[in-house]
Structures are given as structure tokens and as C-alpha cells.
Structure 1
Amino acid sequence: MSKLPLSENDSRATFVHPGLLHAAADFTRITSKVNAGAEPWLTGWNKLIAHADASYTAAPVATVFRGDGTSENYPNLYRHAAAAYALSIRWKVTGNTSYATTAGAILDGWSNTLKEINGTSDRFLASGLYGYQLANAAEILRGYNGWTGLSATVSMLNTVFYPMNHDFHVNHNGAKIDHYWANWDLCNLITMQAIGILSDNATMYNEAVTYFKSGAGNGAIHKAIWKLYTETGSTKPLGQSQEAGRDQGHTTLNIAMLGVLAQQALNQGNDLFEYSDNLILAGSEYALKYNLGYDVPYTTYTNSDVTQTVISNSSRGTIRPMGELLYAHYGVLKGLNASWTERYRDFVVNNGSGAEGGGGDYGPNSGGYDQLGFGTLLYRLDA
């Protein structure tokens, strides 16, 4: 299937499907590796199927609360989204419709029940982190003839999630433009972009891409990765993240979400990986080198709220399933020097018994579900 080269000035509303994190050719490759019993894909497959139970039952709610300690129920949403994603992939690879039926039931339950996301300002984290996950499950499942819930899922995402994504980028919850850390912008960007693709809405898709390139908040690429260095002894650029002085959990989250944004765009023929001289790669190399225990340069970061004079070692060495996606593109497809990203990929894989895991494998709470994961199965390419 041909790619669709979109730009900010392109008003067409036709997208390649499937075309979020995974394209049709990806599933052909993945299925071939699994059927051949090839490693490390088979280990990755076994990790995924452990999260894809055809007897899974969801318990959707009408109002999701995040940030309201007395009413918080948002774990329902991220756990169900992760399950629907894993189930849809298991169906796509095996052809067993029992997994598609269960994934569809999860999505239908939420699309027929969810009316709003509420709570403190953290509600905007929920609108960002979980919308793209639901959209990715639906994008895969749209190829199943037995599922009739696509339009209802699209409607729910457009009426519950997108207005919050848009409002956050326009108003930032009434705060100064540099108040919210980059991860708040980025999670809402990847959901806005995903809903745009799922619902064939080029205006929405282009809104996300334009903000990535030139938005006012900290999630725009030149604010999210704002200071460049040349690595000592090489010509490799290293890019300091906006959250490097805060902690490494959020720093790595930012890099992971930039990878999602770029991968979703790439499957529509729009290469954000290469944007601004591969700036995402520079950010990945900086963050992952530091999280592997090596020193990196640092420049004092200042905004309206903080002055951070040193890089933070809080959560240093954090493990996220993110390196497979980034290294597959930069190191294998592009042939670029992505050595720290590769080493971090291997660090996570080796700590996961041979493959990246998925939701819940990196902690039972919200942080353990920030990435959909399973990158060894889904993104690993032959050298």
C-alpha cells in the first residue's frame, strides 16, 4: 500500500490503514518471524500473549478520574487499553477471532460508556496517555470484519479525548506557557495525532504535527530537546531534554513519546524522525547515555517556576520499553550512529529475559503502562 505524504497544508482526509504504530507490512514481518520461531521475536511474542487472554472482561466507567484521590479510577482505563492492544495484535498474527472479539468488546464497552475525564490537572495526563493507546487498538482491529464498533470508538475519542488534547495545547490549564513539563504536551500530541489518523481527519493530524514543529509549549521539539552538544571524541550530537534536570523517569518518557509521534507519522509517509537533523535521535542518545551510567554535559535550565543547575539523578537507570522502536529506525533503517540507544535497548531486553515487555511488566501502576511496549516483537529488524 502506498504511503500518503501529508503536510501542514494538505487538507486531504485519506490515510493509510492500518497506519498508527504498525502498518500492514509490519504485521507480515511479525507473523513471519513468529511462525518461524525466530528469536528474539518469539520471546517477545510469548511476552505479548501473556497479556492477551480471550476471557478478559473490562469494566468501563462513565467518568474517569485522575488526580482526585478519593475517586481515582483511571487504572481501569489504562489496563483495559493495554489488554485491547495486545489482544488485537494476537488476533492479527494468529487469525484467531476469539482475540479480536474480546478486544472489540473492550473498545465497545468504553465507547458506549465513557462520557468524560475529570479530576485535577492530572486529567490532562489521562487524556493524553490513554487516548492513543485506545486508538492504536482500534486501528489494528478495524481490519476485523466481525467488529462493528469502529465508528463508535472514533466518536468517543473525538468527543471525550480530542477536545481535552486541543484545549490543553491552546490554554495549558490556565498556566504560563512554560509551566507544564514537556510530557504533558507530548502525551496530548500523540493522542491528537492518533485520533486524526484513526478518524481520517487531516486537520487534526496536521494540528499535532504543526505543534510538534512550532508549538508554544514545552512539547514542541525545539523546546523538548533544547540544547545540543557534540559528544567528546566523536561527531555525534547529544540533545538535552527539557526535563533532564527534573528526573530521568520523565526524561525517558519524553523520548519514548517522541518515538511514538514519529512512528505514527512515518506510517503516513511523514518522516518526523529526520526532522531538524534527526533531533529526536540526539535527544535519545543524550538521555539514554546518561541512564546507562555515563556522564553527559548539562546546561542550567530555567523557566517561570524552576532553575535547575545540575542534571537530575532521580530515577537514573529507569527501564522503559522504548529502545527497540527508536533503534530500529535510526540504527537499522537509517544506518545512523545510535549506539547509546542500541545499548539501552539491550539493557532493557536483558533485564526482561530476552525481549521488551508491555503494560504492567514495568510496574503495576500508571508508569508501568505509559508505553504499549512489546518492541522486540513489533519493531526489531534484521540487521
Structure 2
Amino acid sequence: MATLKFLLLAYAASHAAAFIHPGLLHTSEDLTRIRDHVNNADEPWNTNWQLLTKNSHAQSTYEPSPQAIVYRGSDGTHAQNYPKLYNDVHAAYQLAIRWQVEQATEYADAAVKILNAWSSTMTAIGGNSDLFLAAGIYGYQLANAAELMRSYSGWNSRSQDDLKSLLVDVFYPLNYRFLTTHNDQDEYHYWANWDFCNTASIMAIGVFTDNQTMYDWAKDYFLHGDGRGAINNFIYKNYTEDGSGKILAQGQEAGRDQGHATLDLALLGAIMQQGYNQGDDLYAILSNSGLAASEYVAKYNTGYDVPYTWYNSYLGNQTEISAASRYTHRPGFERLYAHYADVKGLNASWTKLYRDETNGNSTDGVEGGGGDYSSNSGGYDDLGYGTLLYRLTV
């Protein structure tokens, strides 16, 4: 608790000037590029823009449903109500993107209405151990929506401070508690996605609240932590692919199921993008290990065989790669491909194939976001719209 108190107190002493704003998943330069593509009706960016603007979450008439306590996971007493949070968070984000592109205050006001509704209502997160997933996934997403709105003159400083308080007082303590105690379990008990989402949340909250200590702690955990969400613990085994010579990296959840194996890469991409936009090239860590992990998952989920090394999970030995949920397609791989192939110029051919197959499953042929996939939580694990937001080349 002493360390937690230190991190919270460091808020006031942080050096705000050290942060780039906006600087989580998107920078000012990114937003200018996106706006130009839309204004020029360039493809495929314009098609993805049209998909976003048709989403029911992205309408200025959207009405939030704030809850005092958000429950994820049955505690035997309270009904789970966390879909209200993830729907509203995605609405705030999509509306923020619309405002950034169109500069129409109706979308800014609608986004602010959602953020203010939750900051004036929500006091806690409850449920079973799944509450830590809610704190992580929706914490980093909420901070990203807020980061996009921080420059809007119609969102006054008092209301912004209320949102910061919600993130620091409700989400952050659970993020920190999980990463430092793993819910009173062995540090390897939980799967990597639990660590990843809570790391992404602390990092995002640190940037939005200008807390350098918080951001640095999350970055250090990603680089050197003891759980499976530390990058060197997540990468379980490296292989050299015959023919290409490229490295494929088996992630920690490969033997569990492919729904979670692909989720790992979406969350990993969010962490790396947030760090990159603050000047920390987390994409490059361990010789571009994020690419190696993406190539492994993408190759298997597009129908090709990959090597596998048994993994001793807390549920027992996993002796072969899991075929459960194989061919799962989820958003998040546009971001990975854009950085590794277009920014770094590396061979990301399997990631591209997976990206294209994922987009091909959509009637629009582009990456969707919350509301375009399943209505359950899995359809809202990533903020999406990567064709519009991250694609750099046709």
C-alpha cells in the first residue's frame, strides 16, 4: 500500500510537459492524416469512415447509461451490468473520433455527455475476479476516449478533473492491485491478457492525468514485470520459420484457445502504440517480439501449421496448440501491420493475411469497432476501426 500511496501522491509532482497530447492511441499527426483521407474520400479509409458513422454508438443522439457500481463476473448477489459501461465507452470514443475528423461540436458534446455521466455516477467496480478485466479493458479505453476530448473547449477543467478522479480512484487501484498481487495468486496463475489490459490501463491513465510516475511504472512492468503480461514472460518460445527465416513467437495462451491468443495481440498492440506515441518504442522490444508473436498467431489462424512447445499452465500441461476458436477474427491487427510493415519496413506477411481475412469477413471489407461485431464483451475488447485510424498504405 505504501507504493500505491506514493504513486497516487506523485500525481501532483509529475512533469506534465513530458507528455505528448493527444498521445495515447492517436497523436495530432495521426488525426491530421485521418482527416485528410476522409476529406479526400481516399479508399479504403473512406469506406471505414462510412462504417463508423453508421454505427449506432457514433450518433450525437446517443444516451449514456451510467451505473454507480459496475459488476463483471457473478458475485452471487448482483446482476452483471458491465455491458452498459463498454457500450458507453465505445460510444464516447467513436464520437470523439467523429469530432476530431468533422470538427462538429454536436459530436464533441455527445462524447462529453457520456464522460460526465460516468464521472458523476460511478464509484466502484464489483463482481468476481473478472472485475479486474473490467478495470483493465475499460480503463484504458475510457482514458483513450478522454484523451481525444481533452482539448475541447466545451469540456471544462472541473469536469475533466472529475473524469481523472474516476480513473485514478476507481480503475487505477484495481489495475495496480492486480499487477502487484495477481489477486493473491502465483504471478503465473493468470493468463497474459489479464496483465496486458491492466498494464494498458495504468499507462493510459498516466498519460491522461499527466502522471509520469504512473506511466513509467506501467512501462517498467511491461519490460520487467513478474507476470505473464511482461513481454519477456509472454513470449514463451521463438522459432525460425523455414524458407523465410523470420521469427515466429509462441505466446502464453497459444495452448488455451485462439480467442484469447488473438486478444493478447490486440492488447499488446495497444500497449506498444501508447508507448510509441510517447517516444518509447515498445514495438522494437526483444528484436520486434510483437511482430514475431503476431506472425505466429496470424499464421495459425489463417489455416497454416506452426510449431508448438508444451506449456505448463495452472490448469495442467498443454501439450499441443489449441484448435479451440481457431479462425477467430478480431480487430487490432491493422495497427500491428501498419507499424511493423509500413513504419519499420519488416516482413509481416502473415499479419497482413490475417488482417485481410478479418476485414474480408466484414461486408464493408474494412476493420470494424464496437457494435460491428458480437454484442458480447468480446466484440468490444478493442476500439477498432484500424483501417481508418492506422492504415498507412493501400
Amino acid at match of 2:253: E
SS of aligned partner of 1:226: strand
Deviates further, 252-261 or 297-306: 297-306
Deviation at residue 305 of structure 1 after TM alignment: 3.3
What's the offset of the Cα at 1:150? 1.6
Counterpart of 2:95 (choices 80, 83, 87) is 87
Deviation at 1:209, TM superposition (A): 0.7
**Correspondence list, 1:90-239, <5 A:** 90-148=98-156, 149-239=159-249
Aligned 1:224-373 pairs, distance under 5 A? 224-352=234-362, 353-373=364-384
1:8 match? none
- Which of 14, 35, 56 pairs up with 2:62? 56
- 1:66 is the counterpart of 2:72: yes
How many Å apart are 1:224 and its aligned residue? 1.2
| Matched residue SS, 1:31 | helix
- What percent identity do the matched residue pairs reach? 55
Q: Note the residue ranges of structure 2 that are not aligned, 5 or more in a row.
A: 1-13
Name the structure 2 match of 1:34: 38
In the TM superposition, what whole-angstrom CA distance separates every residue of 1:62-85 from its partner, at most 9, and x where no partner exists?
Answer: 100000264100000000000000
- 1:232 shift after superposition: 1.2
Q: Deviations over 1:11-51 (max 9, x none)?
A: 74431000000000011100100011110001110111123
Residues in 2 aligned to 1:247 and 1:348: alpha-carbon distance in whole angstroms:
18
TM-score (norm 2): 0.93
CA distance in 1 between counterparts of 2:119 and 2:127 reads 20
Amino acid at match of 2:60: A
TM-score calculated relative to the size of structure 1 = 0.96
Distance 1:197 1:56 in 2: 27
- Rounded to whole Å, the distance in 2 between the matches of 1:114 and 1:231 is 49
* Structure 1 position 349, deviation (Å): 1.4
> 1:179 Cα shift?
0.8
Equivalent of 1:16 in 5, 15, 20: 20
**Which digits, 9 at most, give the CA deviation of each residue in 1:143-185, with x for residues without a partner?**
2111122211111100000000000011111111111100111
Instruction: Give 1:57's aligned amino acid.
Output: E
Contact 1:319 1:362 in 2 (8 A): no
Q: Which amino acid aligns with 1:34?
A: V
Residue-pair matches, total: 374
Counterpart residue number, 2:84 = 76
Residues 188-239 of structure 1 deviation map (CA, whole Å, 9 limit, x = unaligned): 0101100001011111101111111111111111121211000111210000
- State the 4+ residue runs in structure 1 displaced beyond 3 angstroms: none
